[in-house]
Amino acid sequence: MTTQTPALDKDYEAMEARTAQLRAHLLETARKIVDVVARDIEKFGERESRWRFLRHVDFAESLMDHDIRSFKSAIKAFAAATGERVASQLGNEDLWLRHDVVPKGESTKSLEHNPRVWQEMQVIAAEFAKVLDQFGFPADPTDADDDGDLRKRYHLVYRTPVYFLDGVYCPSLIESYWNQLGELNKLSDEIASSRLDSRRKAIEERWNRI
């Protein structure tokens, strides 16, 4: 009886070349996402602060004009410093490549399903919470103890923009990332499985030979 060995028919050179190509495309997509996030940080600060300024009327009326100017300057400083920090952290290729679970449906428009990337992005929320606290913005009401976590105190979560930013639509980039990662993972699994089949074939031949 002849043992079927599909692994021997695999063109590993072509498969490895395709893997390298997919990896390069995925990392380029990730770079574009990071660029959007870095440019969105100041807008995030502006969105969150304006909403809170209008919501807390008594607090807003208590601020002098120079307080508001100082706060707006602080937003710009926060955006510059945090943008540089986050871009550096998200430049770690492993954050984007070493992830096995690829979401489906509407979930592919968010990076929340990559916990390592998501965690790094929440630095934006944490740093902006410090700015709000520095200027005495009222905390959001909560039933839970915030444990001194300013991000919880202000209910701050950073999410990638769902609008066009300088002509770039981030949800489409994120969808591309997940699609590329899914294809890359599938090909990597195929290569690993084929190589394992080849090793099994070799030890089978050795068993039969001895």
What are the boundaries of each domain within the chain?
Answer: 10-209
Q: Can you state the percent helix, strand and coil of the chain, rounding each to 5?
A: 75, 0, 25
* Residue 144, pLDDT score: 57
Element (H, E) at 25: helix 12-55
Q: Is 91 helix (H, G, I), strand (E, B) or coil?
A: coil
Report the percent of the chain where pLDDT is more than 70: 91
- Cβ atoms within 10 Å, residue 148: 7
**Of the given ranges (106-115, 183-192, 197-206), which has the lowest mean pLDDT?**
197-206
Contact by Cβ (8 Å): 197, 29: no
* Residue 59, pLDDT score: 95
Longest CA pairwise span in the chain (Å): 90
Contact by Cβ (8 Å): 130, 150: yes
* Residue 143, pLDDT score: 55
Going by pLDDT thresholds of 50, 70 and 90, the confidence category of residue 145 is low
* Residue 52, pLDDT score: 94
Q: Is 102 helix (H, G, I), strand (E, B) or coil?
A: coil
